[in-house]
Amino acid sequence: MANKIALITGASRGLGRNMALHLARRGVDIIGTYRSSSAEAEGLKQEIEAIGGNAAMLALDVTDIAQFPAFADHVVQTLKARFDQERFDFLVNNAGVGIAANFADITPDEFDTLVAAHLRGPVFLTQRLLPRIKDGGRILNVSSGFARFTLPGYSVYAALKAAIEVMSRFMAVELGERQIRVNAIAPGAIATDFGGGAVRDNEAVNAFVAQGIALGRVGLPDDIGGAVAAILSDEMGWANGTTFDISGGQML
């Protein structure tokens, strides 16, 4: 039987990269996307191949919906040429940017960038790729703990993450006839490049965040990549239209 195939946006760094590695270790083939980090994407491909997996890396800017038709064609060609398939199993809408700006200060340009990355992109990319997702496949949207708890600086970002959680439920209802499960994950603060890498690199921020987490430390990429591989496993096939909080118990 052919391996399952996961398409992960923003696989070049951070959580997307880690998800790709965990899925590859479980025998899932990977189509990863990158926007600017082509060298990192190539490094991930080699790392996956070194553990006996298969991967292809494609360029994509999720804020530019004009690219989506050509990207979808590229996916079709890649599926055929690299994996001898016409469809893939899992779509993970992960790519995103953190822009910290207080409500009083956020600009229309920052607002538009956040909407494009975190809502418009995932919606229209998924819509475009739907014919290429297998019946019985899965869609996993990446939300954030900020959809549940509140700290200054992330009002618009958090509102968009809440929106993608609601969107996931409606998608689950409408795609149920194709047996496609749609869920979201809401990671707590994880040490990546996100938001300038503050959670990872700024000791004061790291300590402040850690004291708000029941398990006493900030999350690491492996905390999320492993969870995603588990959520996309066959055993989790009855989970649908829900959001998984994966935060170590942040701000309970």
Annotated catalytic residue 247: no
Choice from 7, 24, 30, 35 touching ligand NDP (CB under 6 A): 35
Q: What is the Cα–Cα distance from 132 to 129, expressed in whole angstroms? A: 5
Annotated catalytic residue 38: no
Query: Least distance to ligand NDP from the beta carbon of 142, Å?
Result: 4
Binding of residue 229 to ligand NDP (CB under 6 A): no
Upper half-sphere CA count for residue 81 (Cβ side, 13 Å): 9
Q: What is the Cα–Cα distance from 187 to 190, expressed in whole angstroms? A: 7
Annotated catalytic residue 4: no
Binding of residue 99 to ligand NDP (CB under 6 A): no
Contact of 75 with 58, CB cutoff 8 Å: yes
Binding of residue 15 to ligand NDP (CB under 6 A): yes
| H or E segment and range at residue 225 | helix 221-231
Binding of residue 68 to ligand NDP (CB under 6 A): no
Binding of residue 231 to ligand NDP (CB under 6 A): no
Q: Site residues for ligand NDP, window 69-88 (CB under 6 A)?
A: none
Nearest CA among 205, 206, 212, 138 for reference residue 172: 138
Span interacting with ligand NDP, options 82-90, 168-176, 182-190, 226-234, rule CB under 6 A: 182-190
Choice from 96, 137, 226, 248 touching ligand NDP (CB under 6 A): 96
Query: DSSP H helical segments within 105-154, as ranges?
Result: 108-115, 121-129
Q: Identify the bridge partners of residue 57 per DSSP, sorted by sequence position.
A: 32
Nearest CA among 170, 105, 182, 173 for reference residue 140: 182
Binding site for ligand NDP (CB under 6 A): 9-10, 12-16, 34-37, 60-63, 94-97, 117, 142, 144, 187, 189-190, 192-194, 199
Q: Which residues form the catalytic set?
A: 144, 157, 161
